[in-house]
Structure 1
Amino acid sequence: MLVQYLWSFYVMLQFWLLCRSKTFTWKKTAMFMLLGVVLVIPITAWTLMTAHGLIGGKTSDTWSIAVVTPIVEEVWKLLPLGLYLFFSRRASSMSLGDYTLAGAAAGVGFQLMEELGRRWLNSGIIGRTYGYSTTMLGGETIHWDFWALFPGRFEESFFPSLMTVSHPVHTAMVALGIGMAVRFRKRLTNAIYSLPALLLAWSILDHAAYNGQYSLPDWFMKIHEWTGSGYQTKDFFLLMLVLGLILDYIALNRVRSRLPMMEGERFVDPFTELRHMSAAFFRKRERFASVMAWTRERREMGFSLQYGNTEAVSVQEDLRGRMQHHYRMAAGLSLIALLIGAGLFAGFAAYWQAPVQPDDNACFSCMFDSLQNWWDRLSFREKGAIVLGAFALSLLFVGFWPALGIALTAASIPGSGHEIAKNIRDPKRLLTPENAAAALLALALSRVPFGRLAKKGEERLKEWLEKLLGRRTKPEPDVPRKTEGDKPEEKPDPDEQEQAPPKDSDEYVHWSKAKYKGVELYDSRNGALGEFDGIDIENGIFYEAKSAEGLNRIHPKTGKPQQTPQQFTDKQLYQKTRTRINNLIEKAVGTRTTPDGTSDVPTLEEIKGIRNFQFQLDGDTPELRAAAENSLNRLRQEFPDYTFTIRFGVK
């Protein structure tokens, strides 16, 4: 079962790498895979049971295997995508790569459970001897090849005459056809919806022909032969995927003047993005994750500008938070169900293999001794497979580093079984001087910002190499640095800080001195749409106060800041202001005061004409200034008729 999960994870990873125009995160893609497990599988089973309950017959009948089952499975695998298109307000800004990923992920989840069921119920002397996918007449029928693209095809190894690609390929192809129909329905009318209908019919044809190849009529098999006998399906899908990626990047380049560009980048294309990500990985790996996230977010912003409706643009930030909350709930429930199932499986396996009465001396600590004995008997490859499986499974629910920590922890527990058992039998062992010293040392090391020490060590090594080679490196271009001729910057007097003129405006007014404070927008349902900290009607200024307290706080385990300045300004300055402007223009129907605001507030019509935002930030560092300028430049590009200024060090 672990091997099957690793195969499914490998297939999902192939789709993830090929869909270069995606805006979905890995967690959102994993959500579609989980829906393929916890939603599609039960509904498919209930549908088939209902059909047999109404019509009768056996599940081995031709009409059930080759007619009803292919139709039901291929249609219900599209259910996660349909629910997302129906309920998600961001669906209008999906890329064609997102459609492909959604279909592929649901197909991966469905095939994972289908193959787990086959492995679980594998019986017979041939299956036990040669594997669960081997038959007497057909030989090996399910092929999982590491060097194959989308492994898991169904094809007999003895005298093959037809095949069917895996479930992910079928569903991804139909989902991509749906995306093209949605994208071009205005130009090509609703007749374009015949494309996904034909692709769905093709998938059902391939599926049905393989399931009923020895019992279906000749005319049906002849039609299947005209379509390539299943051998042309994957090739056709790959051509569609290439076309979809080209169309996606053409759409992005239509709005590239409103998108942030990398240095030296003239067009938005996948090759330049890959080049920048590769450069970040090999030169400055700490930036690799940021570069990947930045390119994905840029594509998301481009498709939102190009295709997103008003609702998709205005509620994008709030929607992302709510979807993440619901996803975590679904992921937690799925994980609990998986753990329960694994426990039941382990219990039954132990009962079947050793149906004896437990010894009277059985104890809780002995379980850890047995656990390490079992772990020590495993080979290196078996231990590696378990660690890799724990990592791949954890990656569905958490990020990369937490998943790696979970996998290593899962390996360390059985590897320390004897020590854990000794501590349970004799808790006083933990009070020895050796254990106390080890605990104190571990506590001290956990408080050391390892990332900062590593960075200093890297700088020392670089300086040593520069002296050795006689060269000097250039400073970072995006962070202002002092030169030898610069005068030391004098810190302003706290009492005079509010009276000092800001850098980007002629007259400075603290946000708390504004006539109107705490002005909240609300929609037609009386729902809150965000608030302005201060408003100056006479001068036409929105005041926004931001706090950067604790921004550079070091995480004790990672040794890195919990939030970088760029992440902070992108969220607090760019994303929130962008949402506020869109809500002000499109969704707001009125204004009202907040509990801490002034009793008198301006009307919506009075503030709609204001085009000046002034941010007042209590932090002030070179990195924070550079990050804020990047975020404000994104706002200036997206809203050219607005003015955005900022003052630092405002308490």
Structure 2
Amino acid sequence: METDTIWNIRNGIRDIAEGVYRWVQGTLQRLPWLKTLYTIWCWVSLLFFILGLFLYRDSRTMLVQYLWSFYVMLQFWFLCRSKTFTWKQAAMFMLLGIFLVIPVTALTLLAAHGLFGGDTRDTWSQAVLTPIFEEVWKLLPLGLFLLFSRRASSMSLADYTLAGAGAGVGFQLMEELTRRWLNSGIIGRTYGYSVTMLGGETIHWDFWTLFPGRFEESIFPTIMSVSHPVHTGMITLGLGLAVRLRKRLSDAIFALPALLLVWSIIDHAAYNGQGSLPDWFMKISDLTGSGYRTKGVFLLMLAIGLVLDYVSLNRVKSRLPRMEGEGWINPVPELWYMLESLLTRRERLASVMSWTRERRELGFSLLYGNQEAAALQGDLQTRMLKHFRAAAGVTAALLLVAGLAGFAAYFQAHVHPADPACFSCMFDSLQNWWDRLGFWEKSAIVLGAFALSFMFVSFWPALGIALTAASIPASGHEIAKDIRDPKRLLTPENVISTLLALALSRVPFGRLAERFGKKGGSRLKDWLEKLLKRRKEPKPEPDLPKKPHKPDGEDPPPKKEKDPEEQPPKNDADDYVHWSKAKYRGVELHDAKNGALGEFDGVDLEKGIFYEAKSAQGLDRIHPKTGKPQQTPQQFTDKQLYQKTKVRINNLMQKAVGTRTTPDGTAEIPTLEQIKGIRHFEFQLDGDSPALRTAAENSLNKLRQEFPDYTFNIRFGVK
């Protein structure tokens, strides 16, 4: 019962998110001018960003740190050869590291200081709380993915690594960017932003180093800490190994990621607290290598993970497509095929990269997918339920502590101003720096953040990132005050607003208001649609006397034109695209057992259209025994248009687990998730007759009744 409740909540949240996504996609299709506005905005932002690089040093600082973080992400991307994630999915973990992990970490530290008091410069805060909270919360993006994703069960070990590394890259990007902006004085500009008087350079960004960004003093170094991506990637890789080997080695294997987490916390804490922590703790750090063994162990684990991934893929190689002459599936032929495409036919490189990745994704889906994975959902609800309960218990405890922290703050002394040793301690200095900037400098930074984010995500997430990047430094003093004095959060205004929100969601009046809002919103929407439709209707022509027809027939009466809604789209219209000219052709659906579920002749992702080519040749062929046509036009359209399309839509939304190309299809095809949001079918029929048009309209009307969210139209005489 408890399990059902958890997963019902999870499915409900996911369905709402997918509904919002489909609504946004539909809005973009209905309002194509938004894409034009979006294009203009992108070019203007890019122009301002380029100008900012010449005019403002802070813009160049942001670009430098972004390029370093991008370089680290590329290293992980190249090394994780058995990955099934796309670049966009990996980049999303990086963004979650910025906009989820950092705020959650700061709020947790706020709750801890509100509950226990103390100073953020204390050793227990910098060397105990901060390492624990940072290393634990950097695992949050992967946890959310495992909980909500439809394809969590088909992840490779390299995917686990990329998820952790991406969150670590995002966290380190924001942390180091803040340090660069704050330490931009004469010493920082002359010697480097991380140079100290006694330790020399403490943060190393070396191009010829694997995973740059390590923490180590350059003068008499005795201890180091690898970068955030290495720590988190190692922990998540250990978690993936535990999930993969659980059936063979029992649940005890989950001690591996737990030990890796403890090791990362020890490395982090020992570096932050060197000279302050007790000797026994530093001896433990020495036994683990003082941070110098971490990278080597991670690379060894990654090599083992890649070997296990490709060994698993070769267990189902007979069910996977392979290149000509390819025996065992391994990364060497894949890299060679990519290199050959790059040197000979560069336009095929993207298709080859997508093909190899999708082949791995199909292989892991066949190996580890179950019924829920058949719809690209996660298998972890049964295989990791016990561990999810433990994680849920820890999360509930942390939320309880955060809630009690506000009340405990009434009885605590003020937390003293922060020292800029960790990210949560930099807000005061951050706003001081922000306030010194001029309008054009701030604009360049905001537009630069948008332009850089747009390289990873689409318009709206990039816009949100840019606005958030401006709001954090602009509110630095307020955030710092909340950290020092958490009881400010319990002002009467905040309490009243919270109670009011609770009342509106609980009392009958609030529910009545919610229902009224829903009904009123739908009625308002209908009224606006009618108003817009009325404004679009052309004004009636004046009733002028018509010229009489000549009796000799030289001027026949004009033919009555059909209603525009009844006329089929013309083949020479501006938006006409022959199905064979679609960007993606021959997109076949398949189920969990690799069985075919039908194909789409053409797919246009930008316009959101499925193209279906139908042939009516032989429709009027006479049966030799009955002397009648073998099938009537209505029988033909009911079978070819109505029945097949109905089955195709049901398979797309329920049974399909992925897409693959047909022998005559294009090398590059969209994924199942990309085409699930398409709601428009266009049939292109090579025949044309009045009876065929009538029959086709009858069949399409059946489809419109059963699938009101979809639109269907047809073109006749398409050869």
**1:145 aligned partner:** 206
1:57 correspondence with 2:163: no
Q: Are the aligned partners of 1:133 and 1:141 in contact in 2 as well (CA < 8 Å)?
A: yes
Q: Spell out the pairing of 1:107-256 with structure 2 (5 A cutoff).
A: 107-122=168-183, 126-127=187-188, 129-256=190-317
Deviant stretches of 4+, over 6 Å: 342-347, 351-354, 386-391, 507-510, 519-522, 568-572
> Displacement of 1:126 after TM fit?
3.8
Residue from 59, 70, 79 that aligns with 1:9 = 70
Q: CA deviation at 1:128?
A: 5.0
> Residue 396 of structure 1 aligns with which residue?
456
After TM superposition, give the deviation of residue 316 of structure 1 in Å: 6.8
Select 1:596's aligned residue among 676, 680, 702: 702
**8 A Cα contact 2:152 2:377, kept in partner:** no
Report the CA distance shift for 1:267/1:122 in structure 2 as closer, same or farther (over 3 A). same
Kindly provide the amino acid, as one letter, of the partner of residue 111 in structure 2: T
Is residue 98 of structure 1 aligned with residue 198 of structure 2? no
**Using a 3 Å threshold, how does the CA distance of structure 1 residues 392 and 278 change in structure 2: closer, same or farther?**
farther
Distance in 2 between residues matched to 1:299 and 1:167, nearest whole Å: 28
Alignment-derived partner of residue 66 in structure 1: 127
- Give the letter for the 2:247 counterpart: K
- How far residue 353 of structure 1 moved from its aligned partner, in angstroms, is 10
Distance 1:567 1:391, change over 3 A: farther
Q: How far apart are residue 517 of structure 1 and its match?
A: 3.8
Q: TM-score, normalised by structure 1?
A: 0.56
Q: Of residues 349, 374, 385 in structure 1, which corresponds to 2:437?
A: 349
C-alpha distance after superposition, 1:88-128 (max 9, x if no partner) = 12100000000000000000000111111212222666445
Q: Is the 8 A contact 1:520 1:530 kept in 2?
A: no
Whichever residue aligns with residue 394 of structure 1, its letter is: F
1:11–1:108 contact (8 Å) kept in structure 2: yes
Q: Pick one of 128, 136, 148 that aligns with 1:75.
A: 136
Alpha-carbon spacing, 1:650–1:101, altered in 2? closer, same or farther (3 Å): same
Task: Give the drift of 1:83.
Answer: 0.5
Does the 8 A contact of 1:518 with 1:596 survive in 2? no
- 1:312 Cα deviation (Å)? 1.4
- Report the counterpart of residue 336 of structure 2 in structure 1: 275
- 8 Å Cα contact 1:497-1:650 kept in structure 2: no
| Distance verdict in 2 for CA 1:277–1:2, change over 3 Å | same
Inter-partner Cα distance in structure 1 for 2:87 and 2:671:
20
Structure 1 segment 150-549 matched on structure 2, within 5 A: 150-315=211-376, 348-350=436-438, 393-397=453-457, 496-498=617-619, 511-514=636-639, 517-518=642-643, 530=652
For structure 2, list consecutive stretches of 5 or more residues without a partner in the other structure.
1-61, 379-429, 463-614, 623-629, 655-663, 677-698, 707-713
SS in 1 for 2:85: coil
Shift of 1:596: 1.1
Helix, strand or coil: the match of 2:120? coil
2:666 to 555, 558, 566: 566
Amino acid at match of 2:373: A
Measure the CA separation in 2 of the matches of 1:229 and 1:158.
16
2:149 maps to: 88
Q: Measure, in 2, the Cα distance between the counterparts of 1:598 and 1:40.
A: 45
**Does 2:142 align with 1:36?**
no
Question: Against the structure 1 CA distance between its residues 296 and 205, is the aligned structure 2 distance closer, same or farther, given a 3 Å change threshold?
Answer: same
Any stretches of 5+ residues in structure 1 without a counterpart?
A: 318-341, 355-366, 372-385, 403-493, 502-506, 533-563, 577-592, 601-616, 620-648
| Amino acid of the structure 1 residue aligned with 2:438 | A
Superposition RMSD in Å: 4.3
Which residue matches 1:20? 81
Measure how far apart 1:132 and its partner are.
1.5
Q: Which amino acid aligns with 2:454?
A: S
Report deviation, 1:87: 1.0
Could you say if the C-alpha distance between residues 500 and 114 of structure 1 is closer, same or farther in structure 2, counting changes exceeding 3 Å?
farther
- Secondary structure of 1:154's aligned partner: strand
**Which amino acid in the other structure matches residue 28 of structure 1?**
Q
TM-score by length of 2: 0.51
Residue type matched to 1:248 in 2? D
Contact in 1 for aligned 2:641/2:700 (Cα 8 Å): no
How many Å separate the matches in 2 of 1:137 and 1:253? 54
Please give the alpha-carbon distance, in whole angstroms, between the structure 1 residues aligned to 2:185 and 2:434.
Answer: 22
Structure number with greater CO (CA < 8 Å, separation at least 6) is 2
DSSP 3-state at the match of 1:75: helix
Does the Cα contact within 8 Å between 2:126 and 2:272 map onto a contact in 1? Answer: yes
Cα distance change on mapping 1:252 and 1:388 into 2, 3 Å: farther
Distance in 1 (CA, whole Å) between partners of 2:74 and 2:640 is 55
Residues 114 and 19 of structure 1, relative CA distance in 2, 3 Å threshold = same
Task: Give the distance between the partners of 2:344 and 2:182, measured in 1 at CA.
Answer: 50
Q: Determine helix, strand or coil for the equivalent of 2:225.
A: coil
CA distance in 1, matches of 2:366, 2:330: 17
Cα-to-partner distance string for 1:400-458 (whole Å, 9 max, x where unaligned): xx9xxxxxxxxxxxxxxxxxxxxxxxxxxxxxxxxxxxxxxxxxxxxxxxxxxxxxxxx
Shift of 1:314: 2.8
Is the contact between residue 206 and residue 224 of structure 1 (CA under 8 Å) also seen in structure 2? yes
- 1:79–1:53: structure 2 CA closer, same or farther, 3 Å change rule? same
Are the aligned partners of 1:519 and 1:594 in contact in 2 as well (CA < 8 Å)?
no
Secondary structure of 1:215's counterpart equals coil
2:167 & 2:669 partners in 1: Cα distance? 35
Aligned partner of 2:415 in structure 1 is: none
SS in 2 for 1:282: helix
Q: Distance in 1 between matches of 2:458 and 2:339?
A: 24
Measured in 1, the distance between the counterparts of 2:268 and 2:431 equals 34
Q: Is the 8 A contact 1:6 1:392 kept in 2?
A: no
| Residues 351/283 of structure 1: CA separation in 2 closer, same or farther (3 Å cut) | closer
CA distance in structure 2 between the partners assigned to 1:41 and 1:569 by the alignment: 36
User: Residue 349 of structure 1: CA displacement?
Assistant: 2.0
The one-letter code sitting in structure 2 at the alignment partner of 1:42 is P
Paired with 2:376 and 2:440, the residues of 1 have a C-alpha distance of: 55
Q: Which residue of 2 aligns with 1:640?
A: none
2:314 partner letter? N
